[in-house]
């Protein structure tokens, strides 16, 4: 490569004062220990007082600001005042700034003759794309030159993961920093992470040329984003067309009842989930009501009727960005077959899973089908807490009246009538206008809502308000 040496400033050796590019580099303690992941380890080293007589990179051991230049790759949490370091613990969702320093250690008085000028100077970097929990890996920087000795030097910093994470280059984050006209130049991320690397320069029209002396040095910075693909799936059930029936994980029903199932997906990670597809595994005894699949999302809260594909190839809803949610609901009917659901309780499970290009998650609901037959004892009623004071009207007052009648009459007839009346009162108490959401009786079946889920998100409320009349 032909170089325009007239453009190079001739700097006397005494000017090797460590100002300039070194002051741009976000350094830590200059006495820091050099890590072993650098090389070549047998290369010649130099000092601030006695620099090299030929082009060589990052081999001065007592740089007043940087310390040992062989330790030239450092990292810190981006957008903070943290000092750069040889080691960081990665946090999901955070970005980390990698800084790679470069300095041609040739004395400045060799520039005029060209003997101290490094040519075809390039920088490249590499880092892992994935780390397991408890794993450590290196982000490595390489500097090469066609006429430097050695022709390539490298160093690394350590990335530690406490949980599984993916590491991604932040697009357009690579920038060159120095005191020349190339300062602030955006650098190609593809080239930086490629086999050849990017050309470095002090001037923006002489790429690949780096004269000797500190003032012509600088550093390149870029960012790594710590991602964690993840999503949740939640399956719930409730009675169909009963507003007071909140979605729950477990429910007791009777043969012939109609139910509504819901599947809730949420992208809880930091990356976009693509190919999001809902699947459902219907157990024997539950029959899907065709045309009742309805879906909506935070992006499309109005929702709409969806194809009946949940139980086949799956219902695809596209891509979901971080934090986005989607819901699917549908109706089923519980079989009245005594062969499937004989007398007593029969438990079945309805499972669902959502698959993406990153994997799949699943959830299920428990359905207890109770068939009451002649001769079968009534299920024990759930105890009702005794109020501190009896109400002025209602079951308590009637019970007192029965007790008085028993005292006056003293006969078996009143005992029989009182037991029958108490049973009637206990039944009506669960179905009158004073019932609560925690004690709902539907067709004589008590639906205990304890542990019911919280109310749906705002998007779900909006979808409920705008949804069409259910068929």
| pLDDT at residue 418 is higher than 80 | no
Comparing 23-37, 49-63, 105-119, 317-331, which segment has the lowest mean pLDDT? 23-37
Smallest Cα–Cα separation from 365: which of 454, 464, 231, 233?
A: 233
pLDDT number for residue 341: 96
Above 80 in pLDDT, residue 451? no
Is residue 278's pLDDT more than 50? yes
The pLDDT score that the predictor gives to residue 65 is 85
pLDDT of amino acid 295: 96
Residue 353 reports pLDDT greater than 90: yes
Residue 376 pLDDT grade (very low, low, confident, very high; cuts 50, 70, 90): low
Dihedral of CA 408/412/413/414: which sign?
positive
Q: Given this model, what pLDDT does residue 36 score?
A: 53
Report helix angle 395-409 to 412-429, nearest 10. Answer: 180
The pTM assigned to this predicted structure is: 0.63
Residue 210 to residue 199: CA distance in whole angstroms:
10
pLDDT at 444 over 50: no
Give 174-229 pLDDT, tens digit per residue. 999 999 999 999 999 999 999 999 999 999 999 999 999 999 999 999 999 999 98
Cis peptide before 150 (omega within 30 of 0): yes
pLDDT at 117 over 90: yes
**Residue boundaries of the structural domains of the chain:** 5-227, 232-374+447-466
Share above pLDDT 90 across residues of the chain, in percent, rounded to a whole number: 68
Between the alpha carbon of residue 160 and those of residues 5, 78, 315, the distances in Å are 46, 16, 39
317: CB partners within 8 A, 6+ apart: 265, 276, 277, 278, 295, 297, 326, 328
What pLDDT, in 10s, does the model give residues 267-276?
999 999 999 9
**Cβ-based burial of 264 (10 A; exposed 0-12, middle 13-18, buried ≥19):** buried
Helix or strand or coil: residue 460?
A: helix
Give the Cα separation of 213 and 291 in Å (integer). Answer: 76
- Please give the pLDDT value at position 246: 86
pLDDT, position 37: 81
Distances (CA, A) of 451 to 208, 265, 364, 438, 457: 67, 20, 16, 9, 17
Which pLDDT score is estimated for 109? 93
Domain 232-374+447-466 has CATH 3.40.630.30: no
């Amino acid at each position: 490569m032909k170089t325009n040496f007239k453009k190079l400033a001739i700097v006397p050796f005494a000017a090797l004062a460590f100002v300039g590019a070194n002051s741009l580099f976000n350094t830590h303690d200059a006495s820091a220990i050099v890590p072993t992941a650098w090389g070549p380890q047998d290369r010649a080293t130099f000092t601030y007082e006695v620099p090299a007589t030929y082009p060589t990179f990052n081999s001065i051991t007592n740089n007043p600001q940087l310390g040992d230049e062989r330790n030239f790759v450092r990292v810190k949490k981006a957008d903070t005042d943290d000092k750069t370091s040889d080691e960081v613990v990665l946090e999901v969702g955070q970005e980390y700034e990698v800084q790679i320093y470069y300095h041609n250690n040739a004395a400045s008085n060799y520039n005029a003759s060209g003997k101290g000028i490094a040519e075809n100077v390039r920088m490249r970097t590499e880092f892992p794309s994935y780390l397991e929990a408890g794993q450590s890996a290196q982000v490595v920087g390489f500097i090469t030159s066609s006429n430097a000795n050695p022709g390539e030097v490298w160093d690394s910093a350590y990335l530690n993961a406490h949980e599984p994470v993916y590491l991604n280059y932040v697009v357009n984050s690579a920038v060159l920093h120095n005191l020349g006209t190339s300062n602030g130049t955006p650098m190609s991320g593809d080239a930086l992470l490629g086999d050849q690397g990017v050309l470095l320069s002090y001037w923006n029209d002489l790429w690949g040329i780096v004269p000797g002396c500190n003032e012509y040095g600088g550093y390149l910075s870029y960012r790594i984003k710590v991602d964690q693909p993840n999503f949740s799936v939640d399956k719930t059930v409730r009675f169909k067309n009963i507003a007071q029936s909140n979605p729950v994980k477990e429910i007791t029903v009777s043969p012939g009842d109609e139910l509504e199932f819901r599947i809730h997906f949420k992208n809880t990670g930091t990356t976009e989930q693509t190919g999001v597809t809902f699947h459902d595994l219907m157990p024997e005894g539950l029959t899907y009501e065709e045309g009742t699949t309805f879906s909506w999302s935070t992006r499309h809260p109005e929702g709409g009727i969806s194809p009946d594909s949940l139980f086949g190839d799956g219902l695809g809803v596209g891509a979901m960005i971080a934090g986005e949610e989607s819901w699917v609901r549908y109706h089923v009917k519980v079989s009245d077959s005594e062969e499937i659901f004989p007398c007593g309780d029969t438990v079945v499970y309805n499972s669902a899973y959502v698959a993406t290009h990153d994997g799949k998650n699943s959830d299920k609901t428990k359905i207890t089908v109770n068939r009451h037959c002649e001769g079968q004892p009534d299920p024990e009623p759930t105890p009702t807490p005794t109020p501190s004071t009896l109400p002025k009207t209602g079951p308590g007052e009637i019970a007192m009246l029965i007790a008085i009648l028993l005292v006056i009459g003293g006969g078996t007839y009143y005992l029989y009538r009182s037991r029958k009346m108490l049973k009637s009162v206990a039944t009506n108490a669960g179905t009158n206008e004073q019932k609560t959401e925690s004690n709902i009786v539907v067709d004589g079946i008590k639906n205990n809502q304890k542990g019911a889920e919280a109310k749906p998100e705002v998007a779900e409320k909006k979808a409920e308000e705008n949804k069409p009349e259910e068929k």
